[in-house]
């Protein structure tokens, strides 16, 4: 597997999609899915279903590689030889560890089998610890869709639905509930009926003989016994059936549910047996108190004439044994629960009202009285079953997985210059709007200092935009910054309403620090001399009060501004002092925050993370502090590792991470982080000459062009707009100012790297490789300098 290793340097990165390409070219499976659920030898419906998926994909579509992650019941733990990991249902750390393994494995999709009762926590909410951490697209199979969930059940299912790229159900009824009650768009729902075995329609005689049932009319029910099965109703119907057909035997096959055994022993089964004896039909009931393996179960179903599912719960959406019985051509008598209503429609089976013994007796007698009708129902069932046989189920499962797999975006021009229209369309005479609905500015949220600061930065570097246009807009953004200053508080305001009234007297420390950064940059590169003088004045006004703020990111932004100011005025004592103070603060924070697995300034990750490392590296260069440079590089290697996926593409620290100590959640990913990674990698290259950092800068920029966890192109080259981020379900379609400006600034930062002379640190002359265009694409076909 191609990976990125920043242990001693940035190492090699692969372009997005290279891993999948290598898999296909080497004859390996085309996609890899992490399958989560119960599994054999666990004896329950979810375990059986998960086992079926695993085995049927292997049998029919070996191009889909399946990693098995088993949910185990800690009350009766089992051994699972084929498991990639075992998740103890009541251990939060197990869910987190499994998610980490899936991310490290670089799986293409995660497929979760959901039923409330198999996961730990209230309403099974521990599973959210896993789904919030996996980066691959999530498929959720809902084995139950509740029409009237409890409050916590609803919260859990809605959380899962927000994370899922696709939701699989096994009935049209469940699909309707998802649309009507949970408001899931139809394009995200896939209906795949429960799979079933493919066997010929056989005469029952041979199977009956093997069970010692020659000459008997056989009725059968299979499954874990419990009060929810409705078996007492069938036993109550037996006297009327036996009166007409004395040779009838009702076979109740299956062990008592282990949870029921743990609390009540075999009292339920014993009560059913007593009921049969009291009704005089004890001899007509046979018990097989076992959970059968699949082949034996199918053999026993084939030996019956009529299969019964008398379930009283009309909301039951799936029954594996019902699917098996239909596919094997059995005449089914069933209550009209969800699955039965759909599968047995149009004469495929016989539907009866729940808890009505006389109705069941009449339906069974009618079939046994008319052998031709019995055979006709059996034939219709077998024909219907051809729609759900395992090859068809496996093909549908394969299509479901492939529908979410991210395909690499190809042929995106790396250094094509984004258009400028996206910036101007978000701007008016006051400044740049903060948010948009789609591509249209949203005036309700007005403006903010942060975005106008970034817009001013862009005007200094966007050399593809005509100078006069840059001068015009730079003046607008500078005017906003100037007006944001609150002299009484000696700080900048941040948020402004559309009517130009301010929302607060003082903005955040970070917005103030970012403003100092922009002013320092404008001293160097504002598009006209007047603006450069203006920036110098305001830098001097703002530096001291803002530099007194000690939030780590505020400090880093101020340091970046001081580095820029010292380029044009090396003797600026205030900038030099602020840089010294900031460098010491960040270096001390890093030393205090280090752990063996955590080389970072804080216990939490936030937004704009690489800026902290970038500021320390830059300060080390200006102040001749090699220790700061090394600290900056070591922390940047750490954050770079956090933001590279197993497949080699950039994975921005998700906003859901914020405030969570020592965690890194993958969503939602925001453009600001990719731009910061480009800039920080450029700073690292400037002091090391290690071109691995250039590959990292390219990888981060490709995040805008589809090199991300959902393969979504966020940046629109033609207009210069950019979507607001990558979510579990794909992309946030809004195009706010922060996203547009991050895309634009990341482009110009990468373009600047391409133009920069290749001079190794400590030398005055270009490196011997200067005359060669910098190759940073892993296949060597894309050249930065010539793109």
Average pLDDT over residues 621-649: 97
Q: What is the pLDDT of residues 486-497, one digit of tens each?
A: 999 999 999 999
Q: Judge whether 5 lies within some domain.
A: no
pLDDT at 493: 98
Strand partners, 72: 88
Evaluate whether residue 12 is within a structural domain.
Answer: no
Indicate if 330 and 188 belong to the same structural domain: no
Show Cβ contacts of residue 466 under 8 Å, excluding neighbours closer than 6 positions: none
Choose the final residue of a domain: 165, 192, 219: 192
Q: Please check the confidence at residue 775 and state whether its pLDDT lies above 50.
A: no
Same domain? 369 vs 438: no
Does residue 399 have a pLDDT over 90? yes
pLDDT of 762: 47
- Give the per-residue pLDDT at 759: 53
pLDDT-derived band at 661 (thresholds 50, 70, 90) equals very high
Count structural domains, the chain.
Answer: 3
Last residue of a domain, one of 131, 157, 192: 192
pLDDT in tens, 209-219: 999 999 999 99
Question: Domain check: are 182 and 210 in the same one?
Answer: no
Q: How confident is the model at residue 262, as a pLDDT?
A: 84
Residue 785 pLDDT: 28
User: Cα(419)–Cα(717) distance, rounded to whole angstroms?
Assistant: 6
Do 333 and 442 fall within a single domain? Answer: no
pLDDT at 317: 78
Q: What is the mean pLDDT of residues 592-609?
A: 95
The mean pLDDT of 103-118, rounded to a whole number, is 95
CB 276 within 8 A of CB 238: yes
Average pLDDT over residues 571-586: 97
Write the pLDDT tens digit of every residue in 689-739: 999 999 999 999 999 999 999 999 999 999 999 999 999 999 999 999 999
pLDDT at 16 (0 to 100): 34
CB within 8 Å of 187: residues ≥ 6 apart: none
Give me the domain span that covers residue 78: 18-192
DSSP 8-class letter at 145: -
- Which pLDDT score is estimated for 748? 97
CB atoms within 10 A of CB 655: 17
Least confident of 334-343, 555-564, 623-632: 334-343
Considering the domain boundaries, does residue 319 fall inside one?
A: yes
Mean pLDDT for 589-616 is 96
| Last residue of one domain, picked from the residues 167, 192, 217 | 192
Q: What average pLDDT does the segment 78-97 reach?
A: 96
pLDDT(770) > 70:
no
**Predicted confidence band of residue 43 (pLDDT cuts 50, 70, 90):** confident
Task: Quote the pLDDT of residue 23.
Answer: 44
Q: What's the CATH code of the domain at 504?
A: 1.50.10.10
The reply to whether 539 and 655 lie within a common domain is: yes
The reported pLDDT for the residue numbered 757 is 65
Distant-in-sequence, close-in-space partners of 520: CB < 8 Å, separation ≥ 6 = 535, 539, 560, 561, 562, 563, 564, 565, 575
pLDDT, residue 10, reads 40
Query: Is the predicted pLDDT of residue 270 greater than 60, yes or no?
Result: yes
Alpha-carbon dihedral sign for residues 655, 637, 97, 165: positive
Residues 280 and 368 in one domain: yes
Residues 6+ apart with CB under 8 A from 680: 610, 611, 613, 614, 617, 636
In a domain, 780, yes or no: no
Same domain, 593 and 713: yes
36-50, 452-466, 619-633: lowest mean pLDDT where? 36-50
pLDDT of residue 705: 97
Q: What is the largest CA-CA distance in the chain?
A: 109
Overall average pLDDT of the 243-262 stretch: 92
Residue 198 resides in a domain: no
Determine the average pLDDT of the residues in 550-573. 97
Residue 396: inside a domain, yes or no?
Answer: no
Q: Judge if 347 and 482 occupy the same domain.
A: no
Q: Which two tokens stand for residue 528?
A: 């006209």
Residues 314 and 460 in one domain: no
Here the tokens at position 440 are 């249209």
Same domain, residue pair 236 and 155: no
> Computed from CA positions of residues 345, 347, 348, 350, in that sequence, does the dihedral angle turn out positive or negative?
positive
Query: The domain spanning residue 155 has which CATH number?
Result: 3.40.50.2000
Rg (CA), the chain: 33
The answer to whether residue 569 is domain-embedded is: yes
Peptide bond into 76 cis (omega under 30): no
Q: In this predicted structure, what is the pLDDT of residue 782?
A: 33
Of the chain, the percentage scoring pLDDT greater than 70 comes to 92
pLDDT, residue 755, reads: 81
Q: Is 70 exceeded by the pLDDT of residue 19?
A: no
Angle between helices 357-369 and 231-244 (to 10 degrees): 40
**Per-residue model confidence (pLDDT) at position 728:** 96
In this structure, is residue 187 part of a structural domain? yes
Distance CA 607, CA 629 (A): 22
Query: Is residue 14 pLDDT above 70, yes or no?
Result: no
DSSP string, 462-502: -TTS-HHHHHHHHHHHHHHHHHHEETTTTEE--EE-TTS-B
Asked if pLDDT for residue 787 goes beyond 80, the answer is no
The owner of tokens 């024909």 is 383
Taken in order 22, 28, 31, 32, the sign of the CA dihedral is: negative
Q: pLDDT (tens digit, 9 = 90+) per residue, 150-160?
A: 999 999 999 99
Average pLDDT, the chain: 91
Q: Are residues 607 and 492 in the same domain?
A: yes
Same domain, 298 and 435: no
């Amino acid at each position: 597997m191609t990976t990125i290793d920043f242990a001693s340097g940035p190492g090699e990165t692969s372009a997005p999609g290279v891993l999948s390409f290598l898999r296909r070219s080497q004859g390996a499976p085309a996609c890899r899915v992490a399958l989560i659920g119960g599994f054999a030898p666990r004896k329950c419906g979810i375990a059986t279903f998960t086992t079926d998926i695993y085995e049927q994909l292997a049998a029919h579509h070996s191009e889909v590689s399946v990693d098995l992650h088993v949910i185990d019941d800690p009350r009766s733990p089992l051994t699972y030889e084929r498991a990639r990991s075992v998740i103890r249902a009541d251990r939060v750390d197990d869910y987190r560890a499994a998610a980490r393994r899936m991310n490290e494995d670089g799986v293409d999709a995660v497929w979760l089998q959901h039923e409330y009762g198999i996961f730990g926590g209230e309403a099974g909410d521990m599973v959210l610890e896993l789904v919030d951490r996996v980066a691959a697209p999530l498929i959720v199979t809902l084995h139950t869709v509740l029409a009237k969930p409890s409050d916590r059940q609803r919260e859990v299912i809605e959380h899962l639905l927000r994370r899922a790229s696709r939701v699989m159900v096994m009935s049209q009824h469940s699909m309707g509930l998802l649309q009507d009650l949970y408001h899931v768009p139809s394009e995200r729902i896939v209906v795949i009926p429960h799979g079933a075995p493919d066997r010929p329609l056989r005469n029952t005689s041979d199977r009956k003989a093997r069970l010692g049932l020659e000459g008997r009319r056989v009725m059968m029910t299979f499954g874990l016994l419990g009060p929810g099965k409705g078996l007492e109703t069938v036993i109550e119907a037996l006297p009327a059936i036996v009166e007409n057909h004395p040779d009838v035997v009702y076979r109740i096959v299956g062990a008592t549910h282990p949870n029921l055994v743990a609390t009540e022993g075999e009292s339920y089964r014993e009560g059913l047996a007593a009921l049969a004896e009291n009704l005089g039909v004890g001899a007509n009931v046979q018990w097989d108190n076992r959970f059968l393996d699949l082949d034996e179960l199918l053999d026993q179903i084939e030996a019956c004439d009529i299969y019964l599912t008398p379930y009283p719960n009309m909301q039951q959406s799936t029954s594996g044994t019902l699917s098996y019985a239909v596919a094997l051509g059995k005449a089914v008598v069933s209550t009209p629960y969800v699955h039965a209503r759909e599968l047995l429609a149009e004469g495929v089976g016989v539907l009866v009202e729940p808890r009505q013994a006389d109705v069941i007796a009449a339906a069974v007698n009618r079939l046994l009285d008319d052998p031709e009708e019995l055979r006709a129902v059996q034939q219709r069932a077998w024909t219907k079953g051809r729609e759900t046989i395992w090859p068809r189920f496996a093909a549908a499962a394969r299509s479901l997985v492939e529908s979410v797999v991210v395909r690499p975006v190809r042929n995106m021009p790396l250094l094509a210059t984004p258009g400028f229209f996206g910036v101007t369309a978000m701007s008016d005479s006051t400044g740049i709007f903060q948010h948009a609905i789609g591509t249209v500015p949203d005036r309700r949220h007005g403006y903010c200092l942060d975005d106008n600061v970034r817009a001013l930065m862009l005007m200094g570097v966007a050399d593809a935009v005509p100078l006069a246009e840059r001068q015009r807009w730079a003046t607008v953004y500078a005017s906003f910054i100037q007006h944001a200053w609150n002299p009484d508080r000696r700080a900048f305001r941040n948020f402004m309403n559309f009517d130009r009234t301010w929302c607060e007297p003082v903005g955040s420390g970070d917005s103030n620090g970012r403003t100092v950064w922009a002013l320092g940059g404008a001293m160097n590169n504002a598009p006209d001399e007047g603006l450069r003088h203006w920036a110098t004045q305001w830098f001097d006004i703002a530096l001291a009060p803002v530099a007194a703020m000690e939030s780590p990111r505020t400090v880093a932004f101020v340091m970046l501004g001081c580095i820029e100011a010292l380029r044009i005025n090396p003797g600026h004592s205030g900038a030099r002092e602020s840089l010294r103070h900031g460098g010491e603060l960040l270096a001390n924070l890093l030393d205090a925050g280090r752990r063996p697995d955590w080389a970072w300034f804080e216990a939490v990750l936030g937004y704009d993370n690489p800026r902290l490392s970038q500021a320390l590296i830059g300060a080390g260069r200006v102040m001749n502090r090699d220790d700061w440079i090394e600290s900056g590089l070591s922390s940047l290697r750490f954050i770079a590792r956090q933001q590279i996926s197993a497949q080699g593409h950039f994975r921005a620290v998700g906003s859901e991470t914020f405030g969570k100590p020592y965690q890194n959640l993958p969503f939602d990913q925001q453009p600001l982080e990719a731009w910061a990674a480009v800039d920080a990698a450029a700073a690292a290259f400037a002091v090391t000459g290690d071109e691995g950092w250039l590959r990292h800068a390219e990888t981060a920029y490709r995040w805008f062009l589809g090199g991300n966890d959902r393969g979504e192109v966020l940046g629109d080259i033609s207009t210069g707009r950019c979507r607001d981020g990558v979510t579990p379900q794909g992309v946030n379609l809004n195009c706010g100012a922060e996203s547009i400006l991050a895309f634009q600034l990341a482009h110009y930062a990468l373009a600047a790297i391409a133009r920069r002379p290749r001079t190794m640190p400590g030398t005055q002359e270009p490196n011997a490789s200067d005359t060669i265009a910098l190759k940073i694409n892993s296949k060597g076909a894309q050249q930065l300098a010539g793109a």
